[in-house]
Copies of this chain bind each other. A is one copy, B any other.
Amino acid sequence: MKKNHTFLLIMLSAVILFSAFSGWQDPEQVPYPTGYRSWTHVKSKVALSNNPANKSASTYHHIYANALALEGYKTGKFPKGSVIVADFIAAVDSSSALFEGQRKYIDVMIRNTEQYASTGGWGCEEFEKDSKTARKVNLVNAQACFNCHKPQAANEFVFSKYRE
């Protein structure tokens, strides 16, 4: 038992030393995109419920871009610090119109080719409802975001286009 304990301590020290000398570190958590509601509205779509009798299960997808990301939409090259937010809001069917209901979640992409080299140069995160802290991706699941965005390689992995 004592031997195992010593072995673990040695291994742990080795990992810490390796990390310190190699300069290796976790990529940073994607920060909550404070103030995104005042960024430029890129475009919208509504994903309709598959059940025509239940249009209230439909969802607004509003895309917002900070100033750097807006430059990216216009030039095709997203500079470091570009942030894109997809805001998913319930679409509530009433009186022949779809109104905005509660927020379901937001998806965030942040451009940093060094930090997020393994996921196309984009960090990604999903924040639940109106929370600024309840994360669904948490770095470990970032590959899942990237897998879906891979076909958009020609557009630096961005699906949306700016609607004039």
Residue from B38, B44, B48, B52 in contact with A44 in the complex, judged by beta carbons closer than 8 Å: B44
For residues 20 through 51 of chain A, which have their beta carbon under 8 Å from a beta carbon of chain B? Answer: 37-38, 40-41, 43-48, 50
Nearest CB on B from A60, distance (A): 7
Is residue A84 contacting chain B, with contact meaning CB distance below 8 A?
Answer: no
Total interface residues in chain A, CB < 8 Å:
27
Tell me the number of copies of this protein: 2
Assembled-state Cα–Cα distance A70/B37 (Å): 11
Is residue A140 contacting chain B, with contact meaning CB distance below 8 A?
Answer: no
Chain B residue with the shortest CB-CB distance to A49: B96
Within 8 Å CB of A44, what residues of B? 44, 60, 62, 100
Assembled-state Cα–Cα distance A47/B95 (Å): 9
A100 contacts B60, CB within 8 Å? no
